[in-house]
Structures are given as C-alpha cells and as structure tokens.
Chains A and B, each alone.
Chain A
C-alpha cells in the first residue's frame, strides 16, 4: 500500500476525545457526519484543511483515552490516508487495524507541518519529499498484517468464521 499527501502535525497524547468528541459520537452512526468534527478541539478548521490522502502526524501515545472506534473511523472518513506517530495507545491501534485505517510507527520528529510525504507500507519506508529524506517504519506485528491484508477484522471473520492466525 502506498499513499502520498501532506503532513498535518499534532503533539503528544492526542486522545480519542480530541479526535472525535463524545458530544458528537453518541448521537449517530453516520461516520461522514462525525468526520466533519474530527480533531475539532485541537484545530477547528482541520476537516476543511485536509486533502484526500493527507497524513495526521502525531507524537507519542496517539489515540489514548476511550475505546471509541468512531475515532479511527472519523479519521478514515475525513479521507486521511494514514496516521503516523512515535507510538500509539493500544486500543486505538487495534481499532485502526480492525477498521482498515493504516497506522505507522516512526520517528515523527523528522517531519514538519506541511511536508510532502510518500508512505510505502510494503517497503516499510516513508519518503519525506520536502526534506529529501527517508524515514524507516517500525513493522506491524504479524497478526495485524494478516488482519490488514484480509481487509480488516470483519472481513477476516467472514473469511474464517473466527480468528485464524495459523
């Protein structure tokens, strides 16, 4: 999988309340509607600024807080190509893979706001086109690669009628 777009930088500890506030997520299952409010408490204009395929670039502990799967879904439905961070909180990480939002662990200090990036998941590398540098990606655990390749956990279950990692 390969994605190209612009970096939108955020700090450490971006929690799922910031990604999509509780005041919206309890009301609807319409993810396109939720996507309009993605990252709103950190950047009220974020949804307007994003072009399809752009990247959210966080620091450490991205996605901490509640287990709401609306968080990765709202990011995905805002047409963000992938989330890059130094580290992810574990429930968000699982939810992203389960719902097919690519999440990439890497050294995001090497990326600045607005940098043009090309993320190549299969090659395990990010090309920072603005800076002319390459950033290595920490590989996903095998189980997660399997779920991603199957098209998310729902598709995995349709295929195997349960968990199958053999």
Chain B
C-alpha cells in the first residue's frame, strides 16, 4: 500500500483529470488494479469507486486481477482472425480453463486478447513477453503451454 502512497504524492488531491495517469502508474507498479487501490484512489480524488471502476473497465489496458507469472497476448486483429485466431483463442480457453483477462488458479498463466501487433503476414500471432509465436494453430497450444510452465515455475 505504501507504493500507492508514493505514487499519489506525485498528484494533486481532488484533481479528477489525474485519474487515468494514476491508474496507469498503479498498474505498472502492482501489475493490476486491486480493490484497495481503487478505493484509495477514490478517496484521494474524491471520486466514487463505481465511477473509477466504470472508467477503468472501458479501457483494455487495465486489469483487476494480478497477471499470471507468464502473460500471453493473443492477437484478435482482423488479419489474424481471417488466418484463424478464433480456434486459437478457443484452444487457449480450453487449455488454461480461464477467460481472457483472468488468471489461472495456480497463478502461472494469464492471457489477453489484443488488437493488431503488426505481424499480419505471420498470423495468427501469440506474444509471450518479448517472444512472438507466429502461424500458431489451435493444436499447438497445449504443447506451448506445457513448455511455458517451465518458464512460469522459474519466475
């Protein structure tokens, strides 16, 4: 919680226009927006937590549960879709057992759907950290996850 207080010192209490920058800072610091953080920010800015939550859920960049130790980004852009990203997403859901934006119970994995990552001619694209997996097929997913488990357990 003290980290939040550090962030808040950089902003003026009650200035509603600081909301998004604060949310971004907190997300960078904590990896997600916790309930406590939202309540604290609300008190700091004099805003209802409902308003903050409503605004934050409008943007894809904010998450409300801690990300997994390995976080995957699956492209949901037009070209990847045409190249078959829908079965890939379905396989991801099936293998991990969670919806996009959620984290697996063991804390290893989370994934999100993103807009175009610029790999249109290599799609469907799945990005893990700095690594881009290209031409991903649904049947590749279980193996990919098994391999990544090792990485997750190292973290």
A pairs with B: no
